[in-house]
């Protein structure tokens, strides 16, 4: 008896493979509408197995791309407007910005909240550890996607009101 290929993927696999990506970016990668992705995440629609496999292939391609072909930090369009930390010359402001943008983007709303997060959560040591373990490249890949989405979400609303300048500028 030959076992048939599964018809539907698991939500846990889908969420793992799309971690850190916006719904719009996932929809673009899968060439479908954002409503479809929202239905998958909410459990209203089953996830076709081929969508999971496509996400796996895309993730593998991104991880296998040599460093020379990966875009550098200057192509994200956002620049940190914070001073480099003299105690950590090996961690430039662009890397701090990427780390905070991926792990706690709401702390990018002002320089003050950004500095408090970096100091309070010891981000410099976390970046150094991620570089040693080889996981920091994943943070940079996710940041390149999020850097396009974050400014769009902050154009209006309370995040920029009376907080001072954000921790980055276009």
Q: How far apart are CA 80 and CA 86, in angstroms?
A: 16
Same domain, 85 and 156: yes
**What is the chain's pLDDT, residue by residue, as a tens digit (170 residues)?**
555 556 777 888 888 888 767 788 888 888 888 899 889 988 899 998 888 888 888 888 777 665 444 444 445 566 677 778 788 888 888 888 888 888 888 787 777 888 888 888 899 999 999 998 888 888 888 888 777 766 555 544 444 344 445 566 55
Same domain, 80 and 156: yes
Same domain, 92 and 114: yes
Same domain, 164 and 126: yes
- Distances in Å between the Cα of 92 and the Cα atoms of 23, 24, 84, 88 are 30, 30, 6, 8
Whether residue 1 is contained in a domain is answered as no
Phi, psi of 15 (to 5 degrees): -65, -35
Same domain, 85 and 134: yes
Same domain, 57 and 81: no
Domain containing residue 26: CATH number: 1.10.260
Domain housing 31: 8-64
Encoded tokens for 79: 């620049």
Same domain, 157 and 81: yes
């Amino acid at each position: 008896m030959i076992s048939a290929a599964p018809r539907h993927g698991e939500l846990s696999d889908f969420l793992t493979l799309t971690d850190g990506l916006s719904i719009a970016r996932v929809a673009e990668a899968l060439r479908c509408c954002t409503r479809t992705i929202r239905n998958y995440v909410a459990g209203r629609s089953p996830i076709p197995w081929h969508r999971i496999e496509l996400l796996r292939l895309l993730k593998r391609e991104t991880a296998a791309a040599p460093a020379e072909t990966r875009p550098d930090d200057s192509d994200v369009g956002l620049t940190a407007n914070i001073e480099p930390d003299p105690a950590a010359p090996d961690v430039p402001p662009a890397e701090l910005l990427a780390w905070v943008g991926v792990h706690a983007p709401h702390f990018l709303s002002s320089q003050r909240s950004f500095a408090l997060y970096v100091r309070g959560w010891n981000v410099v040591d976390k970046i150094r550890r991620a570089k040693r373990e080889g996981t920091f490249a994943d943070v940079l890949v996710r940041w390149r996607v999020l850097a396009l989405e974050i400014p769009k979400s902050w154009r209006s609303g309370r995040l920029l009101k009376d907080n001072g300048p954000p921790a980055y500028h276009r």
